[in-house]
Structure 1
């Protein structure tokens, strides 16, 4: 009976968190679903994700940052692979995503060739402009341009012997002005609304490689969007003295395109931002977190460390200097004080088909949620 009452007390003491981690899991499953198709450049994956986030902001009670719509439309170039994606090497058909990936800047090509060995991992056919690399791990990305060659990266264990005869049937489509949207919502402050705390996360991922394979992007960065959306719901229900803004960016995987556009066309006064925190790949945490710009903003980092030491949320908070490795960067360049936070430990999947929702432990989700709430409370003092 005592054990039952203790468990009941815990559930009653943290009703918001117990609800929000379930919500976060549902958001994660939705964002990584086949319907969203990797939140990328084919099958309307990114636009479906944008609609989902916009609808969530509206349902939670956030206000559009521009007073009209949650979406900030913009465009940027992207090389896409909407159709055929077939590679046959030494007579063996390779499985897209699992045994090979196309280099993201590649042009489409249909044909066959005899490869020449350039070094231990590189094989080429100069006339047809074919490059093949052998690798221990397949990692894909997005390119804003199309090159004059077709490149393939093949998993070393996928074939026996040296790559020699290759057949390709690959379709690409360069989109000079891919249409995308940043999703921008606001919870207005109760007494000091001109002071703003900002949370950001990119919602785009790599999309699909061909008609049958997509990259779910669970840790990168459905995890960050899940945390951001549940915090948005929490703050909509519990308004704070400061206004709290929530930005979900498109185009991060294609050169930080969305955050760059927002800082050039801001929907709020950047000078009024007290602090910005960007989250990207926050689905683990066994080994703690790393904070980019920690050495730039020592006062805020010391505050974050103090909260964590007192509350024992995370095993470690690692400081890191300035880096142009996520959406905080262009805000930093505009003079906005900002952190970029990511978790460490757990799964090793990154930019591959294995970064799926069922692999993501959300080890420190609740502690991160609490840490952000406490950090924001201190920043508003």
Structure 2
């Protein structure tokens, strides 16, 4: 069954997404394609998920990112309860695929994992599509922008570009990478994760992680000073209300649980979160492109100050 899933990936043509043709810059076009109807909501193990993966793989190749080993695709499987409300219900095996590449740094002994999940929640029983423009086509578009930046500006350390599958419902892709590090890759010493960078009625975005790694505060503050949107550190301190602590709520949670420092960039939950209204048309391009710029600058500064943020 796993082999069949891999064959599906290579057999599917990348969708035309004709409405996205000619959009600029690249990150805006990437967001448009990944959140288009052709992807059918990108549910793990679905045809639409495979289409999104094929697009990401093509973009990484176009940008110049190299695979780790022979392939960008890193398949894995996991079991889950068929009825998610009852852990004792019969279980099913899910086959998923992470997409992972590397940009070589001057120091190849350690790596920064820059991550975003590409899966989403699929369709309603009536066939309406959860296109997930903000969650998380926006994060994947930022991930690709970071890759473009480091290809043009070689990093100090290896940059692992990781597009995770199966984040929805358990951070499965991130947990797989942490439990089974990618063979041939330098050890991950820091995680920069993007999840929901596209929609904020208040024009603000949050950086979670400095509570756990105080050396991140000056980096976030320096980026915030020049940003055209409001960037602030927060949503990472345990205060008794789990909604106010995002530490474990996206893929960075798997790295944090393993003792790897992280910075998570994302917006607050909003009225389109996990709704069919989370469409490309709801994204404010000025906000999104500013958020992408913030993501790229954070990546650059973390690479430059890796010793400080890893307490090495």
Calculate the TM-score normalised by the size of structure 1. Answer: 0.64
Check if 1:368 corresponds to 2:304. Answer: no
Unaligned runs of 5+ in 2: 1-21, 238-244, 308-312
The aligned runs of 1:118-267 (5 Å cut-off) are 143=84, 176-189=92-105, 191-210=106-125, 212-267=127-182
Please give the per-residue CA displacement for 1:106-145, whole angstroms capped at 9, x wherever unaligned.
xxxxxxxxxxxxxxxxxxxxxxxxxxxxxxxxxxxxx486
Q: Given that residues 202 and 225 in structure 1 are in contact (C-alpha distance below 8 angstroms), is that contact kept between their aligned partners in structure 2?
A: yes
Please give the per-residue CA displacement for 1:205-263, whole angstroms capped at 9, x wherever unaligned.
00122362221001000000011012112212322221111111111102111111111
Check if 1:40 corresponds to 2:34. Answer: no
Please give the per-residue CA displacement for 1:275-299, whole angstroms capped at 9, x wherever unaligned.
2111100113544222222210011
DSSP 3-state at the match of 1:209: coil
CA pair 316-227 structure 1, distance change in 2 beyond 3 A: closer
What is the distance in 2 between the residues matched to 1:26 and 1:184? 21
- 2:229 is matched with 314
Greater alpha carbon shift after TM alignment, 243-252 vs 280-289: 280-289
Count of residue pairs brought into register by the alignment: 273
Q: Given that residues 289 and 343 in structure 1 are in contact (C-alpha distance below 8 angstroms), is that contact kept between their aligned partners in structure 2?
A: yes
Q: CA RMSD in A?
A: 2.9
Higher Rg of the two aligned structures: 1
DSSP 3-state at the match of 2:199: coil
Question: What is the aligned counterpart of 1:292 among 208, 212, 220?
Answer: 208
What is the distance in 2 between the residues matched to 1:270 and 1:375? 22
CA pair 239-209 structure 1, distance change in 2 beyond 3 A: same
Task: Give the strand-richer structure, 1 or 2.
Answer: 1
- 2:254 is matched with 330
The structural deviation recorded for 1:372 is: 2.3
Q: Given that residues 313 and 367 in structure 1 are in contact (C-alpha distance below 8 angstroms), is that contact kept between their aligned partners in structure 2?
A: no
The aligned runs of 1:75-154 (5 Å cut-off) are 75-77=77-79, 105=83, 143=84
DSSP 3-state at the match of 1:199: strand
Question: What is the aligned counterpart of 1:303 among 207, 219, 222?
Answer: 219
- 2:263 is matched with 339
Question: What is the aligned counterpart of 1:73 among 72, 75, 79?
Answer: 75
DSSP 3-state at the match of 1:317: strand
Calculate the TM-score normalised by the size of structure 2. Answer: 0.78
What is the distance in 1 between the residues matched to 2:75 and 2:215? 36
What is the distance in 2 between the residues matched to 1:78 and 1:204? 16
The structural deviation recorded for 1:60 is: 1.3
